[in-house]
Structure 1
Amino acid sequence: MTIGQEHAAPLERGVWGVVPTPFAGSARDVDTGSLAGLVEHYEAVGAVGLTVLGVFGEAAALSIAEKSLVLETAAEASSLPIVAGVAALATRPAIDEATAAQQVLGRRLKAVMVQANSPDPDVLATHLEAIHRATGAAVVVQDYPAASGVAVPAATLADAVRRAPFVAAVKAEAPPTALAIARLTALLEVPVFGGLGGQGLLDELAAGAAGAMTGFSCPEALVATVRAFVEGGPAAARRTFAPFLPLVNLEQQPRLALALRKTLFRERGLIADAAVRPPSAPLPDELLPILREQLDGARSALTLLDTAVRIG
């Protein structure tokens, strides 16, 4: 469908959980049971929405049918709004991905998340507009050069976004993220979210971030930290997040981040299997004892957060 540019409702402030795609068995089939349980967990701990088929969701390793299955499962297991990731950088395949997500989710689709594909604001603005005109969907612009290979200065990104009233948020993942977020929030009215596993969360919130859109293995810690910042400022947020910083650091190990994070979800009982699909690398056995030790160090803080959630 072709429509004119429409103003999008901004994404709700808070934590948007980036959902992994669990696999099972030697064939690494999509494990819909684990996926449904994990989505329910995100909702139970206070996430305001879900981001499905992002980089953490291994969307590039999924077939078209599997992508639809993942979206359907997430929608059926939760009432949360959903942002659907679009992996393609070129406009026509990006439109195809956005259209497919829209066909599966219907009104449950809050927005499609599109990679910034050019440092030229004219090219980027044209790309975003074409996707919106073809689908009518609101857009979240993701600036993630580690995945896209495209570096976009904050001022350039803001220029393109200001031309696009259908943009509902920006996800800023170009280090140093706090600097990028400070510059973007000074230039834009739409909310700007941090990512990168929560690695820069405290500084991002201080710089004006609306929350986090990431897949850290303890999403309840992200939720509690954002709430603490809103209610008590930077010091309260720092106290809340401090017990989890070793895990954040562990998860961000180059080339193993996906396997580390999925293994932590498995160790927490939130998914049944930590399998990843090539080209992602599996977790080396040597790191498993270290991972378990780091998780044990965070369990008391997790217990306190779980108690607070149940009381609240």
Structure 2
Amino acid sequence: MAADPLAPGVWGVVATPFTESTQDVDLASLAKLVGHYRRIGVTGVTVLGVFGEAMRLSAAEKRAVLEVVVETADLPIVVGASSTSPAPVTEEVELATDVVGDRLAGTMVQVNTPDPELLATQLNALHAATGAGLVVQDYPLVTGVSISAADLASAVEQVESVVAVKAEAPPTPPAIATLTARTGVPVFGGLGGVGLLDELAAGSAGAMTGFSFPEGLKACVDAWRRGGYQAALEAYLRYLPLVNFEAQARVGLAIRKEALRRRGLIAGSRVRAPAPGMPESLEKQLDRHLAAVENVEN
């Protein structure tokens, strides 16, 4: 399996919708959401990441999600591995390669150690076992593991199968600058797009993150390519209040899924425990943010 670098642009991170009554995976809503990503012209989609609540899905549910995504849109796919220990990560990557096949652009694995030599050894072993290209995600808020940008670059330099890095350890712009200068591997920003403008200025290849208006991420990245910082700023300004609103700690996932529901892209906004739902006190403000963006979109 080839380990070609990920193409630059916007890789839409896909939520996993659940039914309101039983909290089963809502495959019809999932297909509708993925179809929307295809229509707006994203570079590819990222499935079973943190936004996809992969850590709260069974193996059978993960397989079902991947099958629907493959059937719905002819797009390159990055598949997340939610585990951090080598054995279960290998199993998750094997599932991705089995279901997605030639459409698999990469499997996203978490940094699980601050030791660059050990990290490189583990990544090389994972590729040897699965043949998959690797997207290395540095997300200490989720894993509890912190690694310096220099040490992460050192690890990546030793692993030929790395197809991208997803930098989500604040401050992301200097980390992206270090990683792009040292590795030559495409580096994508995340964290809901809060730092997208600064990440692009630091050399980011684009965005790989969840946002209820992925059109905004694409508008920003496309404008950057056409006209640099000023053009990207003008394209992104209209979305920034909603980006900031969705970035609220603990409830950001629930806010984003509710925004997708109100857009008509998924039928329900339930999140699985222990993630908290969106507080009722935020509903009016969410309506304001959505109306502001939709007025511009229309």
Equivalent position of 1:59 in the other structure: 54
Counterpart CA distance in 2 for 1:93 and 1:280 is: 23
Distance 1:186 1:7, change over 3 A: farther
1:225 aligns with 2:220: yes
| Mapping of residues 1-312 of structure 1, within 5 Å | 8-303=3-298
Report the secondary structure of 1:29's partner residue: coil
Secondary structure (helix, strand or coil) at the match of 1:112 reads strand
Return the alpha-carbon distance in structure 1 between the equivalents of residues 8 and 52 of structure 2.
22
| 1:218-272 deviation line (CA, Å, top 9, x unaligned) | 0011111101001000000000000110000100100001000000001111111
Superposed CA offset, 1:61-106 (max 9, x none): 1011000000000111000010000011111111011011111111
Question: Secondary structure at the residue paired with 1:23?
Answer: coil
**TM-score, length-scaled by structure 1:** 0.94
In structure 1, what residue type is equivalent to 2:186?
P
Which letter maps to 1:62?
L
User: Scaled by the length of structure 2, what TM-score is found?
Assistant: 0.98
Distance 2:289 2:50 in 1: 24
Output one character per residue of 1:267-307: Cα deviation in whole Å (capped at 9) or x when no partner: 1111110000001101111111111111111112222xxxx
Q: Which amino acid aligns with 2:88?
A: P
Distance 1:219 1:175 in 2: 22
Question: How far apart, in 2, do the equivalents of 1:76 and 1:273 lie?
Answer: 22
Contact 1:224–1:240 (CA under 8 A) maintained in structure 2: yes
Q: 1:154 offset after TM fit, Å?
A: 0.4
Contact 1:7/1:165 (<8 A) preserved = no
Measure the CA separation in 1 of the matches of 2:2 and 2:82.
24
Alignment partner of 2:50: what SS? coil
Give 3-state SS (helix, strand or coil) of 1:16's partner: strand
The alignment partner of 1:24 has SS state of coil
Unmatched tracts of structure 2, length 5 or more: none
